[in-house]
Amino acid sequence: MGRYILKRVGLMLLTLWIIITLTFLLMHSIPGDPLANMARKLPEQIQQNYYQRYGLDKPVVVQYGIFMKNLITKGDLGESLVYPGRSVTETISKNSKVSGRLGIQALAMGVTIGITLGIIAALNRNRWPDFLVMFIAILGVSIPLFIIAALLQYFFTAKLELLPTTGWGKFKHTILPSIAMCFGSIATYARYMRSNVLEIVNQDYILTAKAKGVSEFNIIRKHIFRNAILPALTILGPQIAGIFTGAFVIERIFGIPGLGFYYINSINDRDYTMIIGTTVFFASLFIISQLVVDILYGVVDPRIRVSKNSR
Amino acid sequence: METAFRPVAVENKEKEVIARESVSYWKDAWRRLKTNKVAIVAIFILATIVIMTIIGPSISGHDYKEINSSMINQRPSVEHWFGTDALGRDIFSRVWQGGRISMIIGLTGALIATVVGSIYGSIAAYFGGRVDTIMMRIVEILISLPYLILVILISIILDSRSIGTMLLALTLAGWCGIARLVRGQMLQLKQQEFIMAAEALGVKPWKIIVKHLIPNCLGIIIVAISFDVPGYIFAEAFLSYIGLGIQPPGTSWGALASAAQQTFIFHPYQLFFPALMIGLTMLSFTLLGDGLRDALDPKLRQ
Amino acid sequence: MSSILEVKDLKVSFKTYAGEVKAVRGVSFDLKKGETLAIVGESGCGKTVTAKAILRLLKEPPAIIKEGSQIIFNGENVLKMNKKRLQHFRGGDISMIFQDPMTSLNPTMTIGNQIAESLIIHKKIKKKQAINEAIRLLEIVNIPNAKERIKSYPHQLSGGMRQRVMIAIALSCSPKILIADEPTTALDVTIQAQIIELLNELKREFNTSVVIVTHDLGVVANFADRVQVMYAGHVIETGNKYEIFYESKHPYTWALLNSVPRLDIECKAELHPLKGTPPDLILPLEGCPFASRCEYAMEICLEKKPEETSITDSHRVSCWLQDPRAPKVERPINLGGTTNE
């Protein structure tokens, strides 16, 4: 197991390095002046100052060296191009708390509700709870979340006036965004768990348990649930990815000052240092979370745990 | 001896056997799909949407670019069936014009990604060994990146504003899933007894590929396409939504939804129609994919 | 000896999109205390369905146990048992071993817990006691290092070991009947013999009645007291082991026996495989189900189902050849094909 984790971490660091390098080089290979958007009106002298300040007058390779050195030694991702004086690292760490809180809340909600609905659907196969859950799930996977978000806003704030449309700070501000964000997760999990449970129900070992005289409730609890929930961990990775992309849209719609909100802003402002920094941060977080999920899966499932031990 | 106890000849006995008609894989798949009402409805909806995206922009009598400052934010009426937007443009025309873009991106995107992915996956599976390891490592790295972030990055770099660059951005990162799928299926098939049996019987490799490998992969590829199309439509909508997609005066469902978002509390119909179309299309493709999967999975055949 | 299990006119169908598959079409038999009954037949003849129906393990729907079928255990109708009684019945009174030990154990539970589960339910003992009992059971089924093994997961054991664990589970609560559904089919030949030997020992030790479902006549010869031959959902011949092996009357039984290679007789000719396939169980079946493949088929065989004829008290056969009007046919003794030369 230790060797496996080591190998995976090594591979992860390699992937991370590739991403950072690629992002950096690609962003610097964009034709045209990175300051063009805002600096055009500035006099020559000030432009020169800008270039010096951001090191843009140096060759790309040198810039890359400085960037990597700062990143590794100080965790410093540079300074915003559009808002001079604003540190990219600080912006990320401040805003990611907001996004993190929302994301974790949404993920937890999505996974628990999704798993529960999936099991309910499978155990009531071809009866109305099944149809209802599958209907919700199908809507969840096929309706983009900005539409779901708009609908939620429309009904809960404009029509029923129960919850605030936008804003951040109190728990009530997180309710609608979390629901909108976790809709996709609920749908995916419900579908996945349903087909999982239906497959397990037909496994021979369920027959064995029945032949042993295990009660229906205990078959579900001890035999079906555990076996169905373990593989569900494997799709946690894509769910985390979904939460990330969800953040871009949801934070904008609900006016939440999170990382996604600033990311989209920096894209629209063509704030390249912000884009590089945030992309690297998102990608790292994403890759690390995938790794954690994989390792977690190895720890929980005895079949994988042992096969890795014996290697 | 009574006649009833006369032995019967073997030939006569054969006649007594009423054989059920044997059905080929595709015929059987089609028969199964036909019985799936949901899938048929999905096909019908998709056909309608496709036809409307072709003829829709020209039947309302308003060009999708035509600005009319005296008719801004009109509710749906006889004149403007889906109403007008903040610039007085006819939403009916715009929805179908946008749909044209969204559908083109969805369909071609999925198709390109599938072709590229299938070829890549087959090559990896066919050569195996080190080639396979290296090719799959690349896929692993690409797949470990968040897809939409990759798309955003590529879009920024390509400065995507046209269908072409958007397609490029979407498919550059989108073929990995299919590559994995096809490779897995191919490897699995290569090990299966009927392939080994065919090999042992001296069937030529190309015949094995044509008669066994391709038909057995085609099913999952078709299913993958139908599940991928909504993904691309969503990705396009997402990009347009965050301002990296089709630029005015061009439009797409995502761009329409994005534009309508800010004022939808006052003019919900502006958001309603593009949202409905995105939802319906994605829903139909998902349902069709479900139906196809059920129809094409020979393991489910009874 | 009294019967511990009686099956009367059991009919089981499956609903499929193509129509109703009548998998079991009126099977009757009984099982006496301490007796071992083998149900023999080709794949798809309904033997496994019959076995599962006894424990009511068939999924309903798609399976339907037809009106009029009766399964009576110790005077109690199994088909009328309520949920609670059924749970006690399964595992407590009657237990079952399945064909594939690779898939019939829960992969995420230790084998100790899987054995203990059954003990906790039926013997109402504490977990700790149950684990100790599980260790004892593992020793009985000859698993070395039982104390260590108890913590193993199924994938850490070989196929033979897993089947031993299955046997331990099945016998844990000393059931009166053990149903073994092809318990050796998925195993290596050498392991097969060990498992059969183990079953033989345990059957005597626990005085359990056994129903063994198999298509392996070798297993039947070693293990069974009585044999019941099934074909296309019907019992076509039943008798004690000797009657079936030496005095069989049905052409299908003959074909079955002749398809087994014999090493004890000098052999010059090839094996006699049974030609053709069993009838499609969706189609209506008229006459004798075996007629289309039978060498001796007569016109009546295609038209009317044969009645059961008793040869001795224990030996019964359903075949028109038993009719006095039919031509006399002897079993072709396949002594390495000497009859043909």
Per-residue tokens: C131: 């684990």
Q: Considering chain A, what is the average pLDDT of its residues?
A: 79
CATH superfamily of the domain spanning B30-73+80-300: MetI-like (1.10.3720.10)
Does residue C282 share a domain with residue C213?
A: no
Supply the pLDDT for residue A264.
82
Task: Give the burial string for B52-74 (b: 16+ CB within 10 Å, else e).
Answer: bbeebbeebebebbbeeeebeeb
What is the Cα–Cα distance from C177 to C36, expressed in whole angstroms? Answer: 9
- Asked if B156 lies within 8 A of A275 by C-beta distance, the reply is yes
Q: Is B230 on the interface with A (CB under 8 A)?
A: yes
**Bond preceding residue C144 cis, omega within 30 of 0:** no
Q: Are B149 and B238 in contact (CB under 8 A)?
A: no
Q: Please report, as a single letter, which amino acid is at residue C119.
A: L
Instruction: Give the bridge partners for C21, in sequence order.
Output: C14
What is the Cα–Cα distance from A277 to A19, expressed in whole angstroms? Answer: 11
Among partner residues B147, B157, B237, which is closest to A144 by beta-carbon distance? B237
Does residue C282 share a domain with residue C210?
A: no
Nearest-CA distance B123 → chain A (Å): 24
pLDDT per position as a tens digit, A79-138: 777 777 778 888 888 888 888 888 888 889 988 999 889 888 888 888 888 889 888 888
CB-CB neighbors (< 8 A) of C289 in chain B: none
Residue C229 lies in a domain: no
The ranges assigned to domains in chain B are: 30-73+80-300
- Asked if B145 lies within 8 A of A141 by C-beta distance, the reply is no
Q: What are phi and psi of C179, to 5 degrees?
A: -110, 120
Does residue C199 share a domain with residue C282?
A: no
| Structural domain range at position C302 | 248-322
pLDDT per position as a tens digit, C118-164: 888 887 888 888 888 888 888 888 888 888 888 888 888 888 888 88
Q: Please report, as a single letter, which amino acid is at residue B44.
A: F
Among partner residues A203, A211, A226, which is closest to C55 by beta-carbon distance? A211
- Is the pLDDT reported for residue B76 higher than 50? yes
- Pick the closest to residue B224 from B130, B288, B141, B163 (CA basis): B288
What is the Cα–Cα distance from A28 to B197, expressed in whole angstroms? Answer: 56
Residue C236 lies in a domain: no
| Sequence-separated (6 or more) residues with CB below 8 Å from residue C200 | C222, C223
Q: Please report, as a single letter, which amino acid is at residue C70.
A: Q
- Asked if B5 lies within 8 A of C283 by C-beta distance, the reply is no
| B contact chains, 3+ CB pairs < 8 A | A, C
Among partner residues A203, A211, A222, which is closest to C96 by beta-carbon distance? A211
CB-CB neighbors (< 8 A) of C322 in chain B: none
Supply the pLDDT for residue A285.
82
Residue C129 lies in a domain: yes
What is the Cα–Cα distance from C169 to C116, expressed in whole angstroms? Answer: 8
Instruction: Quote the DSSP letter at residue B75.
Output: P
What is the Cα–Cα distance from B188 to B201, expressed in whole angstroms? Answer: 20
SS3 for chain C is: CCEEEEEEEEEEEEEECCEEEEEEEEEEEEEECCCEEEEECCCCCCHHHHHHHHCCCCCCCCEEECCCCEEEECCEEHHHCCHHHHHHHHHHHEEEECCCCCCCCCCCCCHHHHHHHHHHHHHCCCHHHHHHHHHHHHHHCCCCCHHHHCCCCHHHCCHHHHHHHHHHHHHCCCCCEEEEECCCCCCCHHHHHHHHHHHHHHHHHHCCEEEEEECCHHHHHHHCCEEEEEECCEEEEEEEHHHHHHHCCCHHHHHHHHCCCCCCCCCCCCCCCCCCCCCCCCCCCCCCCCHHHCCCCEHHHHHCCCCEEECCCCCEEECHHHCCCCCCCCCCCCCCCHHHC
- Asked if A302 lies within 8 A of C155 by C-beta distance, the reply is yes
| Chain C interface with B: residues with Cβ < 8 Å | 16-18, 279-280, 282-283, 291-292, 296-303, 320, 323, 325-327
Q: Considering chain C, what is the average pLDDT of its residues?
A: 80
Does residue C260 share a domain with residue C150?
A: no
- Is the pLDDT reported for residue A48 higher than 80? no
Nearest-CA distance C262 → chain B (Å): 28
Interface of A with B in 239-258 (CB under 8 A): 241, 244-245, 248-249, 252-253
- Asked if C320 lies within 8 A of B5 by C-beta distance, the reply is yes
- Which carries the bigger pLDDT value, residue C121 or residue A49? C121
- Asked if C118 lies within 8 A of A212 by C-beta distance, the reply is yes
pLDDT per position as a tens digit, C164-174: 888 888 888 88
- Asked if C121 lies within 8 A of A203 by C-beta distance, the reply is no
Give the pLDDT mean for B102-113. Answer: 88
Residue C331 lies in a domain: no
Q: Considering chain B, what is the average pLDDT of its residues?
A: 77
Does residue C156 share a domain with residue C59?
A: yes
Does residue C122 share a domain with residue C72?
A: yes
Give the pLDDT mean for A148-172. Answer: 75
Which domains, ranges and CATH numbers included, belong to chain A?
1-311 (1.10.3720.10)
- Is the pLDDT reported for residue B11 higher than 60? no
Does residue C270 share a domain with residue C149?
A: no
Going by pLDDT thresholds of 50, 70 and 90, the confidence category of residue B9 is: low
How many domains are there within chain C?
A: 2
CB atoms closer than 10 angstroms to residue A113 = 18
Q: Is B35 on the interface with A (CB under 8 A)?
A: no
Closest C-chain CA to B21: C18
pLDDT per position as a tens digit, C249-296: 888 888 888 777 666 655 555 556 666 777 777 777 777 888 777 777
Interface of B with C in 4-63 (CB under 8 A): 4-8, 13-14, 16-20, 35
Supply the pLDDT for residue B57.
74
What is the Cα–Cα distance from A96 to A89, expressed in whole angstroms? Answer: 10
**CA end-to-end span of chain B:** 45
Q: How far is CA C48 from CA C9, C35, C182, C196, C318, in A?
A: 16, 19, 8, 18, 21
Q: Hey, is B65 helix, strand or coil?
A: coil
- Asked if B230 lies within 8 A of A142 by C-beta distance, the reply is yes
pLDDT per position as a tens digit, B273-296: 888 888 888 888 888 888 887 777
Q: Is B278 on the interface with A (CB under 8 A)?
A: yes
pLDDT per position as a tens digit, C203-244: 888 888 888 888 888 888 888 888 888 888 888 888 888 888
Going by pLDDT thresholds of 50, 70 and 90, the confidence category of residue C80 is: confident
- Is the pLDDT reported for residue A307 higher than 70? no
Residue C339 lies in a domain: no
Does residue C143 share a domain with residue C69?
A: yes
What is the Cα–Cα distance from C239 to C225, expressed in whole angstroms? Answer: 9
Does residue C158 share a domain with residue C111?
A: yes
- Asked if C104 lies within 8 A of A204 by C-beta distance, the reply is yes
**Residue B25 burial (C-beta neighbours within 10 Å; 0-12, 13-18, 19+):** middle
| A contact chains, 3+ CB pairs < 8 A | B, C
- How many residues does this entry show for chain C? 341
pLDDT per position as a tens digit, C297-309: 787 777 778 888 8
Whole-number CA gyration radius for chain A: 24
**What are A227-231's contacts with CB under 8 Å, separation 24+?**
A227/A200, A227/A203, A227/C106, A227/C107, A227/C108, A228/A119, A228/A193, A228/A196, A228/A197, A228/A200, A229/A115, A229/A193, A230/A297, A230/A300, A230/A301, A230/C108, A231/A196
Q: Is B227 on the interface with A (CB under 8 A)?
A: no
What is the Cα–Cα distance from C302 to A53, expressed in whole angstroms? Answer: 99
- Is the pLDDT reported for residue C340 higher than 50? no
Does residue C31 share a domain with residue C145?
A: yes
- Asked if A30 lies within 8 A of B157 by C-beta distance, the reply is yes
- Asked if A302 lies within 8 A of C90 by C-beta distance, the reply is no
Q: Is B242 on the interface with A (CB under 8 A)?
A: yes
What is the Cα–Cα distance from B283 to A140, expressed in whole angstroms? Answer: 9
Nearest-CA distance C214 → chain A (Å): 18
What's C31's domain CATH number?
Answer: 3.40.50.300
Longest CA pairwise span in chain C (Å): 69
Q: Where are the alpha helices (DSSP H) in chain B?
A: 10-16, 25-35, 37-59, 91-127, 129-143, 147-158, 163-172, 176-191, 193-200, 205-208, 214-241, 253-261, 268-296
SS3 for chain A is: CHHHHHHHHHHHHHHHHHHHHHHHHHHHCCCCCCCHHHHCCCCHHHHHHHHHHHCCCCCHHHHHHHHHHHHHHHCCCCECCCCCCCEHHHHHHHHHHHHHHHHHHHHHHHHHHHHHHHHHHHHCCCCHHHHHHHHHHHHHHHCCHHHHHHHHHHHHHHHCCCCCCCCCCCHHHHHHHHHHHHHHHHHHHHHHHHHHHHHHHCCHHHHHHHHHCCCHHHHHHHHHHHHHHHHHHHCHHHHHHHHHHHHHHHHHHCCCCCHHHHHHHHHHHCCHHHHHHHHHHHHHHHHHHHHHHHHHHHHHCHHHHHHHHCC
CB-CB neighbors (< 8 A) of C285 in chain B: none
pTM: 0.73
Nearest-CA distance C28 → chain A (Å): 22
Does residue C86 share a domain with residue C15?
A: yes
What is the Cα–Cα distance from C278 to B17, expressed in whole angstroms? Answer: 11
Q: Please report, as a single letter, which amino acid is at residue C137.
A: L
Does residue C146 share a domain with residue C263?
A: no
Reported as half-sphere exposure (CB side, CA atoms, 13 A), residue A38 has a value of 15
Per-residue tokens: A58: 């140096």
What is the Cα–Cα distance from C134 to C249, expressed in whole angstroms? Answer: 46
**CA end-to-end span of chain A:** 9
Least confident range of B81-95, C47-61, C255-269: C255-269
Which of C60, C104, C181 best tests the A interface by mutation, with the highest count of A CBs <10 A?
A: C104
- Asked if C106 lies within 8 A of A303 by C-beta distance, the reply is no
- Asked if A230 lies within 8 A of C122 by C-beta distance, the reply is no
